[in-house]
Amino acid sequence: MQDFISNYLKTHEDYFKEVSAYIFNHPETRFEEYDSAAYLAAECEKQGFEVTRDVAGIETAFTATYGTGKPEIGFLGEFDALSGLSQKPGETSYQPMDRDIGHGCGHNLLGTGAFAAACAVKAYLEENDLPGTVTFFGCPGEEGGSGKTFMVREGVFDGVDAALTWHPSPVNAIMNYSTLANYQVYFRFKGKSAHAASSPHLGRSALDAVELMNTGVNYLREHVIPEARMHYAVTDSGGFSPNVVQANAEVLYLIRAPRVDQVDEIYKRILKIADGAALMTETEVEVTFDKGCSNYIPNRHLEKLLHESLVQTGAGEASEAEKAFAEQIWNTLPESEQKNFIDPLISFGYRGDGSDFEGKHVAESISAYETGEGILPGSTDVADVSWVVPTAQLTSATAALGTALHSWQMTSQGLSDFAHRGTLRAAQAMALTGLDLFTSKENLDLVKSEFKAFRSKNDYINPIPDEVNPSPLNPQN
């Protein structure tokens, strides 16, 4: 099995590199991944999958299925990019390109790796005439859109026996921490314009309301749980003329906490602050719920299988040229980030003291697997899948040590041979794990029993209200 998957991925290496490059060179933000989704869905069809487009009412979401019957194993692929992270690939200095969108989180690699794993599993099932179903899920809008949470709400993952995914990073490990749940909400204030010099008394400033709301939330920070996070961006300041009282202004809040009920409690307090800001400025406030996601639920049995597959696959070695490039990337980092580069890796599942990285700028090892009760200080819509399907995720080294996600350095490394090998490493580990579940009823039963035991004590409520629909990034502006 291992030789088959390894040979398959090696034989098709150039093909998957082309897939990754296409997605990288067509960066699109949440729910507008028209080129990437259409391309990837078409490639699935070329590989013999049956494709269903526009799933969950999302134009850029799709499923690609091969086989019949049980079990059904899913691979989760993403392909959305980030605004503000355009960067010319292969460079060691900040060089943005014309369009200010880029794959600063490596989703061109993520989607390609999950697709490659699904293709490899399909090939093995065909070769050995095995029953079961493999499904590749084309999942849009992870960055600030919670595309999978919408898909879960619409029942897209119903009937799936287990789901596997991965994420690019500087390290090889199993991502086994929970994550922060969140709500993302727009607050739009409407006031009355007036000449700011001759008749300011006639105006009612929406921008004042935004500033007062932000001040109120900043005072709230002392009085919420330490794990909570409240971020905001002023997405409409009301215009560029200081001599006009701003009649309209908008702020977007991202509220995080370890559990959805904790997020909801903080959200309700923020609603009161927004109402207070409107009262103080005699403006009106409109609240628009944008999206939400739950906390991630690890499945320990599935994680152990995935780690065994990752160890079987191996970490590989970087070339001398890749090591030299990684050192140049390292030298672009501030001294504080260099000094504390291990801390973010712990969130990704790294369980070591850093000694395996001594004198290196790339990871050439696989972290030991240890379960942990910590919380990754970030959010992912993979979490909602984990509430309805047993789920596990790994991370594979595609970037130099110290590289932060959502940075130009991450984008710059997105087409490198090192990143591509990391993608195929992840694909092989996921494919081997998927096939283990196809061929070992005992392992699949252990995974499903653990999931069933958790769900028997914990109810799932999708955090996105039924009336909320997926929307592009900041559709008002």
- What is the DSSP secondary-structure string of 293-324? E------HHHHHHHHHHHHHH------HHHHH
Distant-in-sequence, close-in-space partners of 138: CB < 8 Å, separation ≥ 6? 37, 40, 41, 44, 60, 61, 62, 63, 64, 77, 79, 111
Q: Choose among 75, 161, 66: nearest CA to 122.
A: 66
Q: Cα separation of 74 and 164, whole Å?
A: 6
Handedness of CA 233, 405, 24, 329 (dihedral sign): positive
Q: What pLDDT does residue 374 have?
A: 83
Domains of the chain: 2-179+295-455 (3.40.630.10), 181-293 (3.30.70.360)
Q: Are residues 116 and 16 in contact, defined by beta-carbon separation less than 8 angstroms?
A: yes
User: How many other CB atoms are found less than 10 A from the CB of residue 214?
Assistant: 17
CA triple 36-345-414, angle to 5 deg: 30
Two tokens at 313? 């696959």
DSSP 8-state secondary structure symbol assigned to residue 166: E
Distant-in-sequence, close-in-space partners of 54: CB < 8 Å, separation ≥ 6? 61, 62
Q: What pLDDT does residue 477 have?
A: 34
Tens of pLDDT along the chain (477 residues) come to 999 999 999 999 999 999 999 999 999 999 999 999 999 999 999 999 999 999 999 999 999 999 999 999 999 999 999 999 999 999 999 999 988 999 999 999 999 999 999 999 999 999 999 999 999 999 999 999 999 999 999 999 999 999 999 999 999 999 999 999 999 999 999 999 999 999 999 999 999 999 999 999 999 999 999 999 999 999 999 999 999 999 999 999 999 999 999 999 999 999 999 999 999 999 999 999 999 999 999 999 999 999 999 999 999 999 999 999 999 999 999 999 999 999 999 989 999 999 999 999 999 999 999 987 888 889 999 999 999 999 999 999 999 999 999 999 999 999 999 999 999 999 999 999 999 999 999 999 999 999 999 999 999 999 999 999 999 976 433
Return phi, psi of residue 392, to 5°: -145, 150
Distant-in-sequence, close-in-space partners of 354: CB < 8 Å, separation ≥ 6? 342
Based on the number of CB atoms within 10 Å of its own CB, is 216 exposed (0-12), middle (13-18) or buried (19 or more)?
middle
Q: Choose among 129, 133, 166, 119: nearest CA to 11.
A: 119
Q: Whole-model pTM? A: 0.95
Q: Are residues 397 and 419 in contact, defined by beta-carbon separation less than 8 angstroms?
A: no
Q: What pLDDT does residue 474 have?
A: 61
Q: Cα separation of 477 and 466, whole Å?
A: 24
**Phi/psi zone of residue 263: left (φ > 0), alpha (ψ -120 to 50 degrees), beta?**
alpha
Distant-in-sequence, close-in-space partners of 241: CB < 8 Å, separation ≥ 6? none
Residue located via tokens 């997405």: 235
Based on the number of CB atoms within 10 Å of its own CB, is 461 exposed (0-12), middle (13-18) or buried (19 or more)?
exposed
DSSP strand pairing (284-293 vs 248-257) = unpaired
Residue located via tokens 């961006």: 233
Based on the number of CB atoms within 10 Å of its own CB, is 320 exposed (0-12), middle (13-18) or buried (19 or more)?
exposed
Does 71 sit behind a cis peptide bond, omega within 30 degrees of 0 on the bond before it? yes
Q: Are residues 293 and 379 in contact, defined by beta-carbon separation less than 8 angstroms?
A: yes
**Phi/psi zone of residue 217: left (φ > 0), alpha (ψ -120 to 50 degrees), beta?**
alpha
DSSP strand pairing (181-190 vs 391-397) = unpaired
Q: Cα separation of 15 and 51, whole Å?
A: 20
Q: Cα separation of 111 and 35, whole Å?
A: 14
Q: Which contacts (CB < 8 Å, 24+ apart) does range 267-272 have?
A: 267/183, 267/185, 269/220, 269/224, 270/185, 270/217, 270/220, 270/230
- Which one-letter amino acid corresponds to residue 295? N
Q: What pLDDT does residue 14 have?
A: 98
Determine the length of the chain.
Answer: 477
CA triple 177-218-282, angle to 5 deg: 130
Two tokens at 356? 């395996």
CA 120 to chain centre: 23
Q: Choose among 88, 83, 143, 84: nearest CA to 111.
A: 143
Which value, in Å, is the radius of gyration of the alpha carbons in the chain?
23
Return phi, psi of residue 440, to 5°: -125, 100
